[in-house]
Amino acid sequence: MLAYTGAAIVESACTSIPVASQMIGTDGLIADPGVREQIGKVLALLAEAYEEVTGLDRGQRP
């Protein structure tokens, strides 16, 4: 579907992470450690896919 944009779907990072209102702290950030861990794992998978596609390490710019 997004081939015309050059986008790549990272299937391993596709997930659903439910976030209930009571999981949000007074600062507006997600306070639930389990949800934060799940989000961290997804971000790590996306970063890994980026590195594979671009050949760049995290922090490098194209």
Q: What angle do CA 46, 51, 55 make, to 5 degrees?
A: 160
Q: List the one residue out of 33, 13, 17 whose CA is nearest residue 25.
A: 33
pTM here is 0.77
How many CB atoms lie under 10 A from the CB of residue 52? 11
Q: Which of 20, 7, 10, 19 has its CA nearest to residue 42?
A: 10
7-59 residue pLDDT tens: 888 999 999 999 999 999 999 999 999 999 999 999 999 989 988 888 877 66
